[in-house]
Amino acid sequence: MTKTNMNGASLGEHLSNFKNSIWNSASEEDGRDEWQHPVYNTNSHSYNLGSELIREHSVRNFDGFRRCWVKPALPHHSMPEDGSEGTATQCADELKSLEDFDTLEELWRNFSRHTSMHGVTNIENHERRRFSRVFWLILVMGMSTVLIYTVASLMIEYYQYNTMTRTDVKVHTKTAFPSVTLCNTCPYRRKADTPDAVSRLVSSTTKLARFLPVNFTDPDIIAFLARSMFEVQDEYSFKPEDLFFTATYEGQPLNVSEDFELIETSFGRCFTFNGPQYIARHGSRLVTTDGRNSGLRAYVRLFQDDYFIFEDMTAGIRINNKERSG
């Protein structure tokens, strides 16, 4: 092949000479009858594109980075730095490799040679023994089958929207009864025989004191204040016999004087059933039946007519439950 001078020749003639020079040399070596690469038509844009593809492919070529070079048929087509030149057959082969893969076999070979999956690469590697390639083939197929099965199972299970409900039923024939504390909302009961001194003194400790002034020089007030606090509390506080009309537990009557423990609270004197003293001696009471007749049933008397006038005018019973271990 020889260089073609640009003087006195059109661009189309130079491209035609370039194509013919490549094909003539190639046909002499391998007997090709037709030039089939679509890049080399008669326009300068396509030729430049083909040149760029040749350069790019020569760098990325898998088989030893072979350089495809043809003697320049155009002035701007320069020689490689190392001064080497390829044959037209080599150039045609390189251009042929740039075409799209026509079959699945060619696509598979290209994928297996360039993929980062080691199993696929080892299957296609013909330098390995057949036993090794078969082993890798079985391994890859097995792992792929497991992967597909796992993903499919998870997808099926997910779209079934299954709901798991677990209910454990435990039947206890006996359970510990809690401690029950009852307090009258009025901690003290007014005595009918001596209401004047106590009523006036108690009323003086509330917001009603300005309406009921107390004369602390009154002999009854002086006598009342001379008594100890424990004496006053014992005399004016409610007793179990006063508060409880009747009480039963598990259908059995209770002795309110013995079965209810007296405790002092911020609400005054209160009474506790199944209290700490009883538990210390006998253990916690147990409930063995259910229904309205089970547990503790108590009927109380409020003695609302005997209430003192306090800031809180509520009448009733305060109840507090506290769990006790068996």
Mean pLDDT of the chain: 70
Average pLDDT over residues 31-60: 43
Confidence of residue 189 (pLDDT cuts 50, 70, 90): confident
Percent of the chain topping pLDDT 70: 55
**Does residue 149 register a pLDDT over 90?**
yes
Average pLDDT over residues 51-66: 42
Point out the least confidently predicted range of 46-55, 86-95, 136-145, 288-297: 46-55
pLDDT at 48: 43
Q: Can you give the residue ranges of every domain in the chain?
A: 11-99, 102-141, 173-189+237-326, 192-236
**Does residue 89 register a pLDDT over 80?**
no
Q: Which residue has the higher pLDDT, 231 or 187?
A: 187
Residue 44 near residue 54 (C-beta atoms within 8 A): no
pLDDT at 224: 63
Q: Which residue has the higher pLDDT, 44 or 13?
A: 13
Which pairing describes strands 260-265 and 175-176: parallel, antiparallel, or unpaired? unpaired
- The per-residue pLDDT for range 115-132, each reduced to its tens digit, is 878 788 888 877 778 888
Average pLDDT over residues 129-156: 91
Average pLDDT over residues 265-291: 87
Confidence of residue 271 (pLDDT cuts 50, 70, 90): very high
Q: Which residue has the higher pLDDT, 172 or 322?
A: 322
pLDDT at 203: 53
pLDDT at 88: 52
Average pLDDT over residues 78-97: 50
**Does residue 86 register a pLDDT over 70?**
no
Percent of the chain topping pLDDT 90: 13
| Cα dist from 125 to 97, 106, 153, whole Å | 20, 15, 34
Q: Which residue has the higher pLDDT, 268 or 11?
A: 268
Single-letter amino acid code for the residue at 248: T
pLDDT at 4: 43
CATH C-level class of 173-189+237-326: mainly beta
- The per-residue pLDDT for range 8-42, each reduced to its tens digit, is 445 455 555 555 555 555 444 444 444 444 444 44
Residue 88 near residue 70 (C-beta atoms within 8 A): yes
